[in-house]
Amino acid sequence: MQSLKLKVQELPYEINEELKLLRTNIQFCGDDKRVLLITSAFSGEGKSTIALDLARSFTELGKKVLFIDADMRKSVLLHSASQTDTLGLSHYLSGQCKGNDIFCRTNIKNLFVVHSGKVPPNPAELLAKPQMESLIEVGREFCDYVIIDCPPVGMVVDASVLAPYCDGVLVLIESGEVKYRLAREVIEKLEATKCPILGVILNKVNIHKSGAYYGRYYGRYYGRYYGRYKGYYKDEEASS
């Protein structure tokens, strides 16, 4: 098994408490909700950071967690790892290596990672391959939770491709950046996959305007809906 050293930063108290609240709400969704897809509507809303921190939060309970970096277009995990030459998801799905070759042990106890790998020309087609579902099932068998970080659903189809393999979807939105019409479009795309939408993570909350207790960069977990997308994957937008 490969090794991947993640750059771990100490979280402020408020952020850590909100992560615990999110973690608890997910647990109350039921013990059958173990494979979680995390997506957003747009780029830059903090999705990948929260997805990885949520995975770390579950390990604090002694849970074994597999984090799959399925954003092969624009991986944020690259900035959280000390090395970027590891075999990853794109290598496996394109037939360049075996499934066992892409699992990484990390410096965080009980946290395992599948890196995104090199950027492929056809990420959506790769994610639709049977090998992706098989990989998720391996994670389901050997880990308590599988958390999949997926590209924003607003302009690319990757999240819709992966959602049928998952037990639930979490949608992240940036506070104050939501347009209702766009939010509905995002939700309708996910609803069409028949995968349960567990709720929304409201991020980058302005505490001065809201008067809320929680921190500026992490927000509370809500029952449903919302989203926004801007300037993500211009090539996809041009071709649609």
What mean pLDDT do residues 56-72 have? Answer: 95
The pLDDT value given to residue 221: 40
The span from the first CA to the last CA of the chain, in angstroms, equals 40
Are 215 and 12 spatial neighbours (Cβ–Cβ below 8 Å)? Answer: yes
CA distances from 170 to 23, 83, 96, 99 (A): 12, 29, 31, 26
Alpha helices, H only, the chain: 13-27, 47-59, 89-93, 123-127, 130-142, 158-162, 180-191, 207-210, 234-239
Tokens 């970080």 sit on residue: 149
Rounded to whole angstroms, how far apart are CA atoms 45 and 42? Answer: 7
Question: What is the set of domains in the chain, with CATH numbers?
Answer: 15-68+121-239 (3.40.50.300)
The pLDDT value given to residue 215: 36
More confident: 179 or 141 = 141
Lowest mean pLDDT among 56-60, 135-139, 234-238: 234-238
Indicate the pLDDT class of residue 223, thresholds 50, 70 and 90. Answer: very low
The pLDDT value given to residue 181: 79
Indicate the pLDDT class of residue 4, thresholds 50, 70 and 90. Answer: confident
Indicate the pLDDT class of residue 85, thresholds 50, 70 and 90. Answer: low
The pLDDT value given to residue 79: 59
What mean pLDDT do residues 84-108 have? Answer: 89
User: Is a pLDDT exceeding 70 seen at residue 159?
Assistant: yes
For residue 94, what is the DSSP state?
T
Tell me the per-residue pLDDT of 187-221, one tens digit each, with 9 for 90 and over. Answer: 888 999 999 999 888 776 655 554 443 333 344 44
What percent of the chain has a predicted confidence (pLDDT) above 70?
78
Amino acid at 149: D
CA distances from 110 to 60, 82, 107, 183 (A): 9, 19, 9, 35
The pLDDT value given to residue 214: 37
Tell me the per-residue pLDDT of 186-195, one tens digit each, with 9 for 90 and over. Answer: 888 899 999 9
More confident: 21 or 218 = 21
User: Is a pLDDT exceeding 50 seen at residue 91?
Assistant: yes
The pLDDT value given to residue 153: 86
Indicate the pLDDT class of residue 232, thresholds 50, 70 and 90. Answer: very low
The pLDDT value given to residue 41: 79
